[in-house]
Amino acid sequence: MKIHGDWKMTLISERVILVVTYAPWNKEAAEAFAEDFRRLAITISDPQWAVIVKMGNEQLMIPDAEPVIAELNGWAIAHGCVCEAEVIHHSLHAQVVENTRTAKTTDNYQQASFDNDADAVAFISDSPVEFSAEQALEWLAE
């Protein structure tokens, strides 16, 4: 089946992955995204890194895609992700985040959702991961 959905992704300060999602995703889009995410994440040499995901569409994914993202979240935590912030603008996003969350907040992993970029970036800034907050805000605003 053809990929339905899109995203953009970048790495800043060599330890923070920024993601913006677009359009509802099918399972094939989730699988392609997971591959792209892993490919970028394995380039991070720092043992602790973070991710900010900005959900830029009204409906994020069909239910068949959720297990793919849940597995990716577990993989990220196992490979050094210590902090994740989601920027959500629609009520459906909160449910998707809950459905794909594989770990609750622990001593080694923090995750939270926000309704704006600045609060998400501030949350990551309070983690042990050092990065350019200004660069993150600029990229997320594009």
For strand 81-87 and strand 110-114, is the pairing parallel, antiparallel, or unpaired? Answer: parallel
Question: pLDDT value at position 93?
Answer: 46
Q: Domains in the chain, ordered, with CATH? A: 6-141 (3.30.750.24)
Q: Which helix (H) or strand (E) holds 125?
A: helix 117-125
Question: pLDDT value at position 97?
Answer: 53
In the chain, how long is the greatest CA-to-CA distance?
Answer: 41
State mean pLDDT over 39-45.
Answer: 97
Amino acid identity for residue 5 in this structure:
G
Question: pLDDT value at position 59?
Answer: 61
Band of the pLDDT at 50, cuts 50, 70, 90? very high
Question: pLDDT value at position 92?
Answer: 52
Could you identify the residue written with the tokens 């995410």?
37
d(CA 78, CA 130): 20
More confident residue, 23 or 86: 86
- 119 Cβ neighbours under 8 A, 6+ residues apart: 85
Q: Please say if the pLDDT value at position 106 is more than 70.
A: no
Band of the pLDDT at 61, cuts 50, 70, 90? confident
Q: Which helix (H) or strand (E) holds 87?
A: strand 81-87
Q: What is the pLDDT of residues 1-37, one digit of tens each?
A: 799 889 999 999 999 999 999 888 899 999 999 999 9
Select from 25, 6, 84 the least CA-distant residue to 51. 84
- 54 Cβ neighbours under 8 A, 6+ residues apart: 18, 19, 20, 21, 86, 87, 117, 120, 140
